[in-house]
Amino acid sequence: MDIITLESKLLLKPDAGIYYCVARAGRDVDVLPLHLAVEESSVPHLGEQVGPPVTGTVGEPVSLPCRMSGSPEPYLSWILPNGNVVRRGTAVPGGLTIETNGSLYLPNPSLRDGGHYRCTAVNHYGRDALSVQLILNSQHIPALRTSFPRGPQSAAGRSTRIRAPLLRDMNEGSGDGEESHALCVCLCIFHKLRVFFARLLHGRLLTTLEVWTRPPRMQLASYREATIHQGGEVHLECQADGVPAPLLSWVLPDRSVMTSAGPSTSRISVDTNGTLHISVTLPSDRGVYRCVASNSAGAASTSVRVHVSSLPPVIQQPREEHLLLSPGRPVYAHCSARGAPPPTLRWRIPDGTLVRPSQFLHGNLFVLTNGTLHIRKVGPNDSGSYECTASNAVGTDKRTVKLKIEGGAEGERRQGEQSLSSKPASPVLYPRISVTEKPRQSAVRLPAPPHPVGPPSSTGTASAPTVITQTASLVSIINGETLHLPCPASQTPGFTRGSFTWTMPSGKVLSQGESGDSGRYLVQEDGALTVQQASVFDRGTYTCRSTSYDSSSVSVITVPVIVIAYPPRITTGPSPVTYTRPGVAVELPCLTIATPRATVTWETPDLMQLKVMAQPRIYGNRYLSPQGSLVIQKPTSMDTGFYKCTAKNVIGVDTKATYLHVI
């Protein structure tokens, strides 16, 4: 191995920058970048001119000489002991200026201004420098005239005033006109102990001020999840304590920051207690909301992932219903729907007119606030199809009621059969109707049930079954979990379940004991439906249909289901290029969020695949933590190369890579 060294005898400011060392071997090339920083210093360099020291007095003007010559005229500057540079025409704290002869003028020097000053002159042909040491002495030494406790005084995030004792000049007599002085600290924001100086005349007295602070501490869990229907309201709380009281702010998913004192939008605002309000939730509001509490001692945060569920409307009544009535009878046609956001209902009558809830038409037709269409007295002109439409931002659903008006003896006979239809129905118990999925003839005799319940049925004409519909609450699960949907029997008196079926969102129908999709779907003996390892493709509306033994009643239960899943996202990953020195451990972070949980793997330069497990793993000098970070202990040049972190679940993949330089 050859070692190549680049050596420079005299470094100047223009020499700063990036230097590249390039090694070639055949077709292989390796490049090592090195950053060189050149800083000015007032300390005299080896072999540099050193002028005679200059002695001055604190508070009295002093000049440091520096005469120059050259052609063209050199550019002159002074480097102070603290590293600052003074040039002609520039303003410097303390009033330091460069005179026309090149001397540095200090109008009011203090003890901390003592040290080495360096004068530099530069033109196109070279440069020269001269170092001068400034020595400052105090005129008088002050002495304490009264005793003063030296113990610490404390303050916690508030304004405070420290009383300083009177100081007496050793060369001056004491007078009655002297007064005490105070050091006022307007706002204590220090986390550690600091020392303040009470200055009087040309002396000082030291007193210690302890500022007591406590970094913020969140009073809620560091991570939460919230699910809300589209269009609903969200209230996200954020509580924290600390000294001084922390400032609460929210970082939204779009990286914008909101506080109670800052501007708010028409939908999103922050209360003075730190609660974030979203009045009307939209799909774009889903994501991670981060509350940050900060004060002078530090910061803390908590995160809330908001899921916004959007469900298309589902009308709770059968999609089609037939009514046969005689003239003069009232009609109640029900239409209620569920969805997210809540759907809007409207009826279209046979002549094409649209009618909304709480609207009268022709003095005879009215739509109630719950969506029920009411006709006070039907007539021949009321025959036709009445269509109810439920719509929201996600989709629409429709239901049709076909009304037929008959007169004469046949109408009188049917009037008794349809009497229940001419009266208001309860929310879940509907009149005798004929459902298109199971049409029946009026003269068909019902077969005897296999297990008779109650008195034997009498012979005669059969009527349409009574349909009892209801909608269960929204079911929300995480992708990969098991979905369990019960199908309870109707609580209507006299209802005994004979058979039941489940209809999947895809339209597939399963009966008792049947299974589908390679056993993932299973209808159990008690009527419950189980879906193993549910995925986002299993979301939708599930319908359980139960029929009584005598087929006189049908119970329909609809269950809306959402499956929550998000692709992986690496929130904290390694930088594109990472530098370290041989033997100095380096950590490559890879923190992810995903639903379901992502599988994290690292690919190393030697093409090894390191999988993150629940327990830490060690592969040679590589330590893999359960959180996903890869730590390379005692790295060498053999560890140089590309490292790639990959997070993957059933929804998607995210990767981050870095090139590690061990130099």
Residue 586 has pLDDT above 80, yes or no: yes
Same domain assignment for residues 336 and 423: yes
* Other beta carbons less than 10 A from residue 318's beta carbon: 19
Same domain assignment for residues 421 and 340: yes
| Residues facing residue 167 across a β-bridge | 144
Q: What is the predicted pLDDT for the residue at 140? A: 55
- Between the CA atoms of 310, 312, 318 and 321, what dihedral angle is there, to the nearest 10 degrees? 150
Structure tokens at 144: 């304490």
| Residues facing residue 298 across a β-bridge | 295
Where does a domain end: 564, 582, 614?
A: 564
Q: Return the higher-pLDDT residue of 494 and 630.
A: 630
Q: Is residue 641 part of a domain?
A: yes
Q: Give the mean pLDDT of the chain.
A: 76
Where does a domain end: 309, 337, 362?
A: 309
The residue-averaged pLDDT of 252-263 equals 85
Same domain assignment for residues 317 and 414: yes
Same domain assignment for residues 235 and 304: yes
Where does a domain end: 536, 564, 592?
A: 564
Cα separation, 630 vs 632, whole angstroms: 7
The whole domain housing 255 covers 214-309
Same domain assignment for residues 221 and 195: no
Residue 472 has what DSSP assignment? Answer: P
Q: Is residue 605 part of a domain?
A: yes
Q: Is residue 548 part of a domain?
A: yes
DSSP per-residue string spanning 477-541: EETTSPEEE--PPP-STT--EEEEEEE-TTS-EEETT-EETTTTEEE-TTS-EEETT--GGG-EE
Q: Percent of the chain beyond pLDDT 70?
A: 74
The residue-averaged pLDDT of 74-98 equals 83
Q: Is residue 16 part of a domain?
A: no
Same domain assignment for residues 557 and 637: no
Cα separation, 322 vs 439, whole angstroms: 11
Least trusted range by pLDDT, from 140-154, 385-399, 535-549, 646-660: 140-154
What is the band of 325 on the pLDDT scale with cuts at 50, 70, 90? confident
Question: Which value, in Å, is the radius of gyration of the alpha carbons in the chain?
Answer: 43
Residue 330 has pLDDT above 80, yes or no: yes
Cα separations in angstroms, 358 against 168, 388, 576: 91, 15, 63
Cα separation, 433 vs 332, whole angstroms: 13
Cα separation, 435 vs 454, whole angstroms: 25
Same domain assignment for residues 194 and 164: yes
Q: Is residue 105 part of a domain?
A: no
What is the band of 601 on the pLDDT scale with cuts at 50, 70, 90? very high
HSE of 473, CA atoms in CB hemisphere, 13 A: 2
Same domain assignment for residues 549 and 597: no
Same domain assignment for residues 574 and 611: yes
Residue 234 has pLDDT above 60, yes or no: yes
Cα separations in angstroms, 367 against 71, 334, 387, 433: 101, 10, 13, 21
Q: Is residue 501 part of a domain?
A: yes
Same domain assignment for residues 518 and 611: no
What is the band of 443 on the pLDDT scale with cuts at 50, 70, 90? very low
Instruction: Say how many Å lie between the first and final Cα of the chain, rounded.
Output: 15
Q: Is residue 245 part of a domain?
A: yes
Least trusted range by pLDDT, from 103-112, 274-283, 455-464, 594-603: 455-464
Q: Return the higher-pLDDT residue of 291 and 463.
A: 291
- Between the CA atoms of 272, 278, 280 and 282, what dihedral angle is there, to the nearest 10 degrees? 160
pLDDT in tens, 34-57: 767 765 555 555 457 888 899 988
Same domain assignment for residues 238 and 285: yes
pTM above 0.85, yes or no: no
CATH number for 294:
2.60.40.10
Cα separation, 653 vs 558, whole angstroms: 35
Element at 311 (helix H, strand E): strand 311-315
Same domain assignment for residues 398 and 491: no
Q: Is residue 114 part of a domain?
A: no
Task: State how many domains the chain has.
Answer: 5
